[in-house]
Homo-oligomer: A and B are copies of this chain.
């Protein structure tokens, strides 16, 4: 038996390939730098002196700004990475002997090196299958039915973790989200949302941030900035404020409280100003849609999931992916549990920096290399 194994560095040509002026880089939205407005804000934040550890005015302003955007009183904590946001938020939502239900393809399950287990002090993650990276009330009910409460034997289920937009580039509608949150709450679970691409979800659905979070029943949202034009900025937003009780201690002891916190706050300050966050996400979504449409039109290429945010998952005929890479395109293979494409899927991500030319060049290349 041979295990599928790859290092990012060995799969990709790890540099920014430009041949004949083409930049066909669809590796990840974290290969981009930061948006100019956000860099400017960081520059400005450096002036003068300011209290450390988040007691500064800029941090307070950003916290208030989140309350406006989400149309509610919420408690906000800033951190630098999505793994920290997810792990720390889960650590205050479940005791160490509890259980978190999540999709089997979710980032918390697949991509954080057992980070949630670390931050929570050993809580269990229960991975649940479902097409398109999505859970439903039925799959949750079934998972819970198979793991009945028998205190103190089974780890008690405490949290449902959802991702919006999902790891498959799909979205939960407001109705779907509401039904899921209702099912979770009815079963005594609180709801965590990994919103690393929450901006893309808001931009795509046109629903308000509130409708896609607390109004649907989300208790805690990890609101991402990094993938959408920030340097390193994520916000943990507690709609259920009681849950935030000891977050500040946990953030500190995990080394996630910045002394110069204003440098995270400044990023969000620009990000949330004049709808920048939605403009950036909207562009990335549009580029992914253009890419998806282009690929769908090519016979022999299969797009695996509906393209609802900035991610496209495609299956190419044998040998084409390699040729694309030889011609300067950059993108990852995508292998997950319950893989519908038997290991042949590739993930293509558009970002705020992706251009029409990048997309069109890629589609042209696919057509040419087929």
Q: From B96, B147, B254, B335, give the contact of A337 (CB < 8 A).
A: B147
Binary interface profile of A, 178-196, with partner B (CB < 8 Å = 1, else 0)?
A: 0000010011100000000
Q: From B28, B157, B227, B335, give the contact of A146 (CB < 8 A).
A: B335
Copies of the chain in the assembly: 4
A304 at the interface (CB under 8 A from B): no
Return chain B residues, CB-CB under 8 Å to A256.
81, 84, 255
Q: How far is the CA of A239 from the CA of B299 in the complex (A)?
A: 55
**Pair A253/B118 contact, Cβ less than 8 Å:** yes
Q: How far is the CA of A30 from the CA of B258 in the complex (A)?
A: 9
Q: How far is the CA of A113 from the CA of B253 in the complex (A)?
A: 5
Interface of A is mostly: loop
In chain A, positions 130-159 with a C-beta closer than 8 Å to chain B are 137, 140-141, 143-157
A301 at the interface (CB under 8 A from B): no
The stretch among A6-14, A273-281, A307-315, A319-327 that forms the contact with chain B is A6-14
**Which of A48, A85, A335 is most buried by chain B, counting CB atoms within 10 A of its CB?**
A48
Q: How far is the CA of A263 from the CA of B39 in the complex (A)?
A: 11
A88 to B, closest residue via Cβ: B255
For chain A, which range describes its interface: under 10, 10 to 19, 20 to 34, or 35 or more residues? 35 or more
Q: From B15, B122, B226, give the contact of A117 (CB < 8 A).
A: B122
**Pair B183/A1 contact, Cβ less than 8 Å:** yes
Q: From B39, B50, B118, B147, give the contact of A254 (CB < 8 A).
A: B118
**Pair B3/A253 contact, Cβ less than 8 Å:** no
A336 to B, closest residue via Cβ: B146
Return chain B residues, CB-CB under 8 Å to A4.
144-145, 148-149
**Pair B113/A3 contact, Cβ less than 8 Å:** no
**Pair A255/B115 contact, Cβ less than 8 Å:** yes
Known: A3-B149, A8-B52, A153-B252. 5 other contacts (CB 8 A): A3-B148, A3-B157, A5-B148, A7-B150, A97-B252
